[in-house]
Amino acid sequence: TQLLEQSPQFLSIQEGENLTVYCNSSSVFSSLQWYRQEPGEGPVLLVTVVTGGEVKKLKRLTFQFGDARKDSSLHITAAQPGDTGLYLCAGERPGGSEKLVFGKGTKLTVNP
């Protein structure tokens, strides 16, 4: 059973377009993180959201944690080719187990 479902699995868009990717679960998480992974490299942390309803912005990227802390979204405004990569969400279960649960990822391609 996949605890974190990411959608869409693949996304190919043109430079300048906006997009949103989703990370959904039926479970509550203490925190939720978004990572970006480029080919041949390890994932790199982009942001952590902790409070239900929290919104964080990182330049053209906007991250939101659902009110019930079961889901999250990542919105990219005016996508650029440099945004291309695999976006992974990861959830920390309540109780501080220190084991993150990862979604399968959204592979984004931004074409010039």
Partner 1 sequence: NAGVTQTPKFRVLKTGQSMTLLCAQDMNHEYMYWYRQDPGMGLRLIHYSVGEGTTAKGEVPDGYNVSRLKKQNFLLGLESAAPSQTSVYFCASNERLAGGPFLWFGPGTRLTVT
| Contacts to partner 1 by CB under 8 A | 2, 30-31, 33, 35, 40-45, 48, 50, 88, 90, 92, 98-100, 102-105
Q: Shortest gap between Cβ of 43 and partner 1 (angstroms)?
A: 5
Q: Shortest gap between Cβ of 58 and partner 1 (angstroms)?
A: 14
Q: Shortest gap between Cβ of 2 and partner 1 (angstroms)?
A: 8
Of 51 and 77, CB closest to partner 1: 51
Amino acid found at 25: S
Q: Return d(Cα 72, Cα 87) in angstroms, integer.
A: 12
Tokens of 104: 């399968």
Residues 6+ apart with CB under 8 A from 44: 35, 36, 37
